[in-house]
Amino acid sequence: MKRNLSLLIILFYSFYCFPSEIISAEANVNIETSIRDISKENEAVKKEWNGFKIKEATLNGVAYKVVFPKKANASKNWIWRARFWGHEPQTDIALLNAGFHVVYIEVANLFGSPKAVKIWDGFYKFIIKKYKLNPKVVLEGMSRGGLIIFNWANQNAEKVACIYADAPVCDFKSWPAGQGTGDGSKKAWQACLVSYGFSEEIATQFSGNPINHMEYIAVQKVPILIIVGDADKVVPVAENSALLEQRLNSLGWELNMIRKPEVGHHPHSLKDPKPIVDFILKETSH
């Protein structure tokens, strides 16, 4: 009798207690897995950058950053930096102090190609929706960053408040191809060809660089400030910014250019960024 009673007790726990524990354990595993999946999919790291909170995450597998001002200004302005994150950051820091957000998405080796423009299209929509930022953005591009800011802006000029370009590449035949007076970069040139899907022959005949278009930017009268070193041998002014200026003039628009005498490709920006910051604040105040 005792043996039968013990057997009944074991059966009772087997059918009514153990399954609930198993289900509970499985649920915990599923919850943990879900958390891991979410974390992996929206991998975000929050830390500080120059005293400001920064979020680092990925969107569709592409790394991006958002730096938050201590207090956003009423217009929810933002500056979108292209390439060389954190290099000569004085303008970005000054704008953060003025209530701007600073954002960045990695398109380093795409050289302003249609793929890069597509990534920027998606990122713009994402940023505007998620952070409720101003529909008009300030673009900032140093060196090769010039290709993406001008290519994207010429397709989206109505979304651009103004452009700050620094020693910008405006024609990939000048850099990285090195088909002018500059040395170019063989490695970067090969990466550029791959990003566009061009042979070298087709690339040489390509007429879609910033120096060849700018039409929509001119129509929308997007304010542009370019800072260059007159002695730049990496991205020669005569093959890039000067041709961009000529193109804009032919379309009835103009740009502002600050020339640094006897300065090469580096250092970028200005030691005192006030002229840059004043330009941006003026163009985003209306």
Query: Residue 127: what pLDDT?
Result: 96
Mark the ranges of the chain whose per-residue pLDDT is less than 70: 1-45
Q: State the pTM of this model.
A: 0.84
**CA nearest neighbour of 114 among 178, 192, 55, 19:** 192
Query: Residue 209: what pLDDT?
Result: 98
Distance (Å, whole) CA 14 – CA 12:
5
Look at phi and psi of residue 88 and say left if phi exceeds 0, alpha if psi is from -120 to 50, else beta: left
Query: Residue 286: what pLDDT?
Result: 84
Query: Residue 44: what pLDDT?
Result: 66
The one-letter code for the residue type at 203 is A
Q: Is 208 exposed, middle or buried (0-12, 13-18, 19+ CB in 10 A)?
A: middle
- In the sheet that 101-105 helps form, which strands lie side by side, from edge to edge? 45-49, 52-59, 62-68, 101-105, 78-82, 137-142, 160-166, 224-229, 256-260
Strand, coil or helix: what is 248?
helix
Phi, psi of 126 (to 5 degrees): -65, -50
Query: Residue 70: what pLDDT?
Result: 97
Residue 230: how many CB atoms within 10 A of its CB? 11
Strand, coil or helix: what is 209?
coil
HSE value, Cβ hemisphere, 13 Å, CA-based, for 144:
23
Query: Residue 16: what pLDDT?
Result: 36
Parallel/antiparallel/unpaired status of strands 160-166 and 224-229: parallel
